Amino acid sequence: MQSSRKKISKKISNQRAVSKYGADILDSVGHKKCTEYIQHGNTSIRQHTASVACLAVAMARKTPFKYDYQALVRGALLHDYFLYDWHKPHHGLHGYAHASIALHNAAEDFAVSPIEADIIKKHMWPLNLNPPKYRESFIITLADKVCSIKEIFGKPIYNKKIEEILNEYQ
């Protein structure tokens, strides 16, 4: 699986990379359903996961390492694929449980690679103690926390460029 790691062309924007590698997920009924669930503030799960994917690509490009960008994007888009409203009280252990639920749902609806599975399962590290195994998973733990904090404080990274990508898959 390491063999699919490479540098990404400078000609492709972060948003375009997300559209390229995540097309089937962005076009799926399941991921579109994530529009109905709010993650933080006014940001839906679909918007949050697209934001994490874009930021993760941007962060990865700033490092000197090669990445499996397909796994990075797909793992980002599926990392919160738990498919319920976590604000409702019957999901009290959401913080601990949702990564495993997201992986279960993702594996039912998509072909999930080992790196993508690790991204989804470990994205709540260090709250969930099992640490990321791959560099792609580690980048997502960082990108997810940055996006989440900004969404909570009303300054989401979700913007027109990311919206344009989602609008291509309505």
* Footprint on this chain of Fe ion (rule: CB under 5 A): 80, 144
Q: How far is the CB of 52 from Fe ion (least distance, A)?
A: 6
Measured from the CB atom, the residue of 80 and 118 that comes closer to Fe ion is: 80
Q: Which tokens hold the place of 156?
A: 């989401």
Place of tokens 């949702």: 98
Measured from the CB atom, the residue of 118 and 144 that comes closer to Fe ion is: 144
Q: How far is the CB of 68 from Fe ion (least distance, A)?
A: 20
Q: How far is the CB of 146 from Fe ion (least distance, A)?
A: 10
The count of C-alpha atoms lying within 13 angstroms of the C-alpha of 141, restricted to the half-sphere facing its C-beta, is 20
Q: Which residues contact 62 (CB under 8 A, 6 or more apart)?
A: none
Measured from the CB atom, the residue of 19 and 43 that comes closer to Fe ion is: 43
Measured from the CB atom, the residue of 5 and 133 that comes closer to Fe ion is: 133
Contact 132, 122 (CB under 8 A): yes
6: left (phi over 0), alpha (psi -120 to 50) or beta: beta
Q: How far is the CB of 11 from Fe ion (least distance, A)?
A: 29
